[in-house]
Amino acid sequence: MTVPQKIDRHTFLANLRESGLLPAQQLETAIDGLPETERARVVARTFVDRGLITKFQAEMLLAGRTGGFILGQYRILDQLGRGGMGRVFKAEHQTMNRVVALKVLAGHLVKTEKAQLMFQREVRAAARLVHPNIVTAYDANQIGDRYYLVMEYVDGPNLEELVRDLGPLPIGQACEFIRQAALGLQYAHELGMVHRDIKPANLLVQHGKGQGAGCNVKILDFGLARLHADGDPGEASEDSIMTAHNTVMGTPDYMAPEQARDLHKVDIRSDLYSLGCTFFYLLTGHVPYPGGSTMEKLVRHTTEETPQVEDARANIPAPVAAIVRRLMAKDPNARFQTPTELAAALAPFAVQGPTGWAGHESRFYLSDSPAVTPLQFGGDDAAVRPNDPDGSSALAGTLSNDLLLTPMSVTELPSMLIRRAVQQDQRRRLKIAVAVAVSLVSSAVVLVSWLMLR
């Protein structure tokens, strides 16, 4: 990995001045009170400690970035992560002082007509969703070649981070989180929408105010949602997601068997299957079918028996284990048929309360340690270099996608390969069954012959 060149005090201040992050008068006043040092990192840390710039902004300036901190009315404060269609930033509306999350499409994707159509569909889908258990969309716009969606900022972890840091959740709390997610899905279901990528990383936790206050779960990213015609939920409208029929989209660890076979024939019960896999993860700390390749995961969801959650955690009440099993049934008709039905089943076991989440320091460092490079974000592909081809913008790639259990949030595979793999697995199982049957028959014949001889 190329290490960005170190800069001195003068260069850092020149970068800050050119960035426009601070008004000229405020910058000059701040410079007068700086410590006498030529070390740019010490100077940057002073600005951060005074609340004049954020750690993210400081790291970008130290890396030589001078532009891309302002997008329309929004001032970029931090980077939160990235998904299949772009990156998400924490930002502040410069007039309203409202903190928001900005989802910005990747620069190379926005140049294609398909990406623009998908973005427009996501905007239309998000605009219809106003519910306490769904992340609210405030605005959408295009500036130059940057398309972005402005969303509610949730100052809390996603459920994958929560379990990764704290381990399996208390049973009552896990039931409450899934119950709240079901309420959000029911609202979307009544609007004819399916999420298609329900997983722990897409469920955010907003902490309540005050000691002992409960939490609010919010569903993130209806970007894979398919809108149906208002009259007939089975008929796809002109707003349906534009995807080839031989394509699989979703996250393999949480994908319903029917979704792996045909993206266009899923319904709310497919989201409920994914929610069941998420429930399994919250209760056990691992996915239902760990290990293996993407293809192997998809086949196992289709052909293997549903794992018993009580085998992985002994103290789970039998009714809760039965709910998980029903959610993860291979046949959609055997699952809960609506999220409301699921929410009602979980209500007797749900317990509201704080998560115990202490939060994390920023991923961006301002250390004097020689072992810490000016941009150490946690992955080999994570460093931002001043000469990146995607330009002199803090909106370019700056963070590795390390928040998911699976290597991709959107998997694109020919569905016929999945069907073929499932068929091969079924043939293999049939051959084993036939071999066992033949062996049993042979043993029976030998036993009968022996008895007759006696």
User: Containing H/E element for 188?
Assistant: helix 171-190
**Pick from 297, 285, 251: which is nearest to 159 by CA?**
285
Measure the CA–CA gap between 162 and 71, rounded to whole angstroms. Answer: 31
**63 within 8 A of 376, measured Cβ to Cβ:** no
Measure the CA–CA gap between 243 and 125, rounded to whole angstroms. Answer: 16
Measure the CA–CA gap between 175 and 406, rounded to whole angstroms. Answer: 24
Measure the CA–CA gap between 372 and 392, rounded to whole angstroms. Answer: 23
User: Containing H/E element for 445?
Assistant: helix 415-453
Enumerate the H helices of 33-112 as residue ranges: 40-49, 55-62
Cβ–Cβ contacts within 10 Å for residue 447, how many?
A: 10
Cβ–Cβ contacts within 10 Å for residue 442, how many?
A: 10
**Which of the following is catalytic: 197, 221, 253, 267?**
197
Measure the CA–CA gap between 133 and 111, rounded to whole angstroms. Answer: 33
**Gyration radius of the chain over CA positions:** 26
> In the structure encoding, which two tokens stand for residue 433, read together?
């069954």
- Coil/strand/helix, residue 89: strand
**71 within 8 A of 92, measured Cβ to Cβ:** no
DSSP state, residue 225: -
DSSP state, residue 392: S
Measure the CA–CA gap between 58 and 197, rounded to whole angstroms. Answer: 34
C-alpha distances in Å from residue 9, one per residue of 12, 34, 385: 5, 10, 19
CB-based burial, 271-297: b 16+ in 10 Å, e otherwise? bbbbbbbbbbbbbbebbbbeeeebbeb
Strand-pair category, 226-227 with 146-152:
unpaired
Report phi then psi at 225, rounded to 5: -65, 145
> In the structure encoding, which two tokens stand for residue 282, read together?
């919250």
> In the structure encoding, which two tokens stand for residue 88, read together?
């998400």
**197 in catalytic set:** yes
Catalytic residues: 197
